[in-house]
Structure formats: C-alpha cells, structure tokens
C-alpha cells in the first residue's frame, strides 16, 4: 500500500513570494490534514478536510494561507505572501475517517 | 483547551538501558493517544495508538500506557539500541473524536553505543 505522498520535499523562497505544496493521501482515506511543524516544536494542525469539505481550519492564517482538496483526493496548500515565520516543515496526513493518521515525509520550507 | 507536554526535551542513555518517556495532557476527556517517532528530516511514523478504553498497548520492545485520570501517558522502551535514536512525539486525539491531533513538543532521544 502506497503511503502519503508530498512534493516538493524542499523549497527555498524569499519573503513576500508565494509557494504551493501538494499532497496525495493514501487511497480510500476520506480525511486529510495539513500540519505545520516549526523547528523544535510538535506539529500544529492547520486544516482538516473530510472528503471535499473543511472540518477545521481554526488555526489557518487565512490572510495568507489557503488550501483546497479537489474531488476529495489530492490537496494543495498555498502561502501568499510568505513571511519569515512561515519557515517550517509542512506535513500532510490522512486517515480513513478520524482514527489513526498516517503522515507523509513533509515539505521543508525556508523563507529568506 | 487541550495541552500536551513532554518532559524532558532531550535524553541521552547508554545502549541496553530501559527508559521511559513521559507525556502529560490537561483534558482527561481524550479519545485516543498516539505515540510517533520522527527521524531527522523525515515525517512521522506511528508507533502505538491507545484507545480511551485501553490502558496500554505493546509492540515489540515498546509499551505505551495511558492513565486518563492523572492525565499521563508513558512510552517504555526496553533494551534501547542506537537505532532508537530519534524524536518521540505524543499526541492527543481530542474529545468527540474529531480526528484533530494535539502534539507535545517531543523528546529527542540519543542512545549511545
């Protein structure tokens, strides 16, 4: 069974630029999550999708971050414009419903 | 609001030692508690998931316990090996089983040969 796929693995951008991350969950998993992990901290949930719908986006900085999940499968997370404090690892996870989550390798973003 | 804390932030032990990693949480009405391992530059690997009705789970040399009344979980690693060196994270599934995970800061373990 293929795991959660994410791309790119690494990205370096300058502040005020935009960036997008892609996630492909495990086949059949209805729930998809995006987490932000700042160095030295545990991951923090940014947004949770159930199929196409948003379940929780309470910690998503909506003035600069956006996310979508087309057709209930792949998802993209976008940052526009990026700030220095957005430097982090962005992790995507999926689960069948709301149970055990499986994580992808993450995308390491550096904003200079 | 659920808060999860892991102490210590870092731990160094000699190979072969048995060790315990600690995790505490403020809201005892958790649904599940999950332990993860994270290697440098990598994603999270699930180690053990303890459902709220359970008190412990075991997998190989790992044993995780859950005490909801005291707001604590422990991860016991037996006969530690250098390959166990990684960051260990615990995460609480919030009440109502929304799926949202609330993570601790992690404990970085180094096992010296």
Q: Is B28 left (phi over 0), alpha (psi -120 to 50) or beta?
A: alpha
Residue matched to tokens 């030295």 = A40
CA distance A91 to A19: 15
The share of chain A scoring above pLDDT 90, in percent, equals 88
- Residue B50's Cα: distance from chain center in Å? 10
Query: CB–CB of A31 and B34 under 8 A?
Result: no
Residue A100 confidence (pLDDT): 83
CA distance B70 to A46: 29
pLDDT of B109 higher than 80: yes
Half-sphere exposure of B19 (CA within 13 A, CB side): 21
pLDDT of B98 higher than 90: no
Looking at beta carbons, which residues of chain B come within 8 Å of A40?
105
CA distance B4 to B87: 16
Determine the residue of chain A that is closest to B48 in CA distance: A100
How does residue A2 score in pLDDT terms, banded at 50, 70 and 90? confident
How does residue B52 score in pLDDT terms, banded at 50, 70 and 90? confident
């Amino acid at each position: 069974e293929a795991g959660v796929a994410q791309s790119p693995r690494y990205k370096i951008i300058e502040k005020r630029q935009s960036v997008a991350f892609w996630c492909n969950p495990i086949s059949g998993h209805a729930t998809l999550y995006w987490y932000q992990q700042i160095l030295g901290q545990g991951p923090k949930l940014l947004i949770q999708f159930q199929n196409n719908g948003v379940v929780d986006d309470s910690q998503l900085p909506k003035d600069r971050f956006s996310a979508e999940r087309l057709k209930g499968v792949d998802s993209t997370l976008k940052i526009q414009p990026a700030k220095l404090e957005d430097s982090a690892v962005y992790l995507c996870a999926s689960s069948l419903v709301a149970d055990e989550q499986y994580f992808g390798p993450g995308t390491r973003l550096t904003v200079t | 609001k659920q808060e999860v804390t892991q102490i210590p932030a870092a731990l160094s032990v000699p190979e072969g030692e048995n060790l315990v990693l600690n995790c505490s949480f403020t809201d005892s009405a958790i649904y599940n508690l999950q332990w993860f391992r994270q290697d440098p530059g990598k994603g999270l690997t699930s180690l053990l998931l303890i459902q709220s009705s359970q008190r412990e789970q075991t997998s190989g040399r790992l044993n995780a316990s859950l005490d909801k009344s005291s707001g604590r979980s422990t991860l016991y690693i037996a006969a530690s090996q250098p390959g166990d060196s990684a960051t260990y994270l615990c995460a609480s599934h919030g009440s109502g089983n929304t799926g949202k995970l609330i993570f601790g800061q992690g404990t970085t373990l180094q096992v010296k040969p």
